Amino acid sequence: MSKMLETKNLAKKYKDFTALNNVSITVEKGDVYGLIGKNGAGKTTFFKLVMGLSPKTSGNIEIDNSSSLNKARSKIGFMIGLSFFPYLNPHESIEYYRRVKGIKDKKETERVLKLAGLYEVKKPFKSFSLGMKQRLGIANALLGNPHIVILDEPVNGLDPQGITDIRKIIREVNKKENTTFIISSHILSELDLVATKFGFINHGVLLKEISYKELHQQTSKSLIIEVDNFDKAINILETKLKIKDYEKGKNNEIILNEYLTEPDKVSRLLMENDLKLYTIKKQETTLEEYFFKLVGSGNNDWVY
């Protein structure tokens, strides 16, 4: 696959403060790249450097293998904040930006508004819900069929329906146009549903890059078992199946790290020994748990 964005040792310093410290990432054509980090981790700073909205202190940026960085940046659509005139409706807003961006094809306005589900909307931006505002921001980012689309916190503050709407747009454009997306989000469970690759950043340092497939191969899995008698169940599992790798969870649940592919064998054994089996289910480490393990901190450090 061809590289759409590659940074090498990218850094940004403000006097004595290092906002971004030697960040090297690679985004391939067609990726939905999830950039994960707490508030202040350096995500927005990274986006601004890539877009040329802020000068880098050091390092290199290469976009779409182009020798001209400024020319390559013209192929990027982005949503970093929302800047629309409050009195303009969606059609007027996108038409304004179409002209500003020098896009001659007037059909582009209709195309992106339909993608965002705003084509029939006539009311002004000031009366929009947050979800509608975010969708208009994405419509603007998609103008001109950019090769890369950068979305900074596109679902922040949205209700479940709004989040679903944004996810649908990203998936549709990525699938139909093979458009590359780079997305930051605090809602990690949602990012896990759309991203093909992840970059974990903390205090301006990129901790890890990993594909969706690699991530879910590495994350630990367990069987969660709830029975009426914890001690009796453990005694049976240790004696009959020689199980050693387990923990005691909340409400006397058994967290079993063995026999993950044979839950039927475990459940049958327990019931044959007169135990009441209330629940047996597989559990995988979440993206959020994986992030906290990387940064070595608890959930109370996360800023929503």
Q: For residue range 65-82, what is the model confidence (pLDDT) as tens digits?
A: 888 998 999 999 999 888
For the beta sheet containing 205-211, the strands, ordered from the edge strand earlier in sequence to the opposite edge, are 76-79, 148-152, 180-184, 32-36, 197-202, 205-211
Distances (CA, A) of 45 to 26, 151, 153: 17, 13, 13
Average pLDDT, the chain: 91
pLDDT digits 0-9 by tens, 40-62: 899 999 999 999 999 999 999 99
Q: How far is CA 303 from the centre of its chain?
A: 16
pLDDT digits 0-9 by tens, 150-194: 999 999 888 888 899 999 999 999 999 999 999 998 788 889 999
pLDDT band with cut points at 50, 70 and 90 for residue 222: confident
**Residue 90, number of CB atoms within 10 A of its CB:** 27
- For residues 142-153, give the mean pLDDT: 95
Answer for the pair 260, 221: CB distance below 8 angstroms, yes or no.
Answer: yes
Tell me: pLDDT of 144 over 70: yes
- Closest to 270 measured CA to CA, from 302, 300, 221, 226: 226
Q: Hey, which residues does 148 pair with through a beta bridge?
A: 76, 180
- For residues 201-215, give the mean pLDDT: 93
Strands 221-227, 254-256: pairing kind: antiparallel
**Residue 276, number of CB atoms within 10 A of its CB:** 11
Q: What is the pLDDT of residue 99?
A: 96
**Residue 52, number of CB atoms within 10 A of its CB:** 15
Distances (CA, A) of 174 to 20, 47, 89, 284, 286: 28, 19, 26, 27, 24
CA-CA-CA-CA torsion for 236, 241, 246, 247, nearest 10 degrees?
-10
Contacts of residue 41, Cβ cutoff 8 Å, sequence gap at least 6: 201, 202, 203, 204
Answer for the pair 130, 162: CB distance below 8 angstroms, yes or no.
Answer: yes
Tokens 């890539």: give the residue. Answer: 50
Distances (CA, A) of 289 to 145, 209, 222, 224: 35, 16, 14, 17
- Closest to 275 measured CA to CA, from 238, 248, 235: 235
Domain with CATH 3.30.70 in the chain: 220-284
Assign residue 103 a region (left: φ > 0; alpha: ψ between -120 and 50; beta: otherwise).
beta
pLDDT band with cut points at 50, 70 and 90 for residue 221: confident
pLDDT band with cut points at 50, 70 and 90 for residue 1: low
Q: SS3 of 36, please?
A: strand
Supply the CATH classification number for the domain 220-284: 3.30.70
Output DSSP code: residue 165.
Answer: H
Q: What is the pLDDT of residue 297?
A: 61
Identity of the residue numbered 198: F
Tell me: pLDDT of 100 over 80: yes
Domain with CATH 3.40.50.300 in the chain: 3-216
Tell me: pLDDT of 24 over 90: yes
CA distance 43 to 249: 35
Compute the half-sphere exposure of residue 55: CA atoms within 13 Å on the CB side of its CA.
2
Tell me: pLDDT of 301 over 70: no
- For residues 16-33, give the mean pLDDT: 96
Q: What is the fold, at CATH topology level, of the domain defined by 3-216?
A: Rossmann fold (3.40.50)
Burial class (CB in 10 A: 0-12, 13-18, 19+), 4: buried
Q: What is the pLDDT of residue 304?
A: 33
pLDDT digits 0-9 by tens, 259-272: 888 899 999 999 99
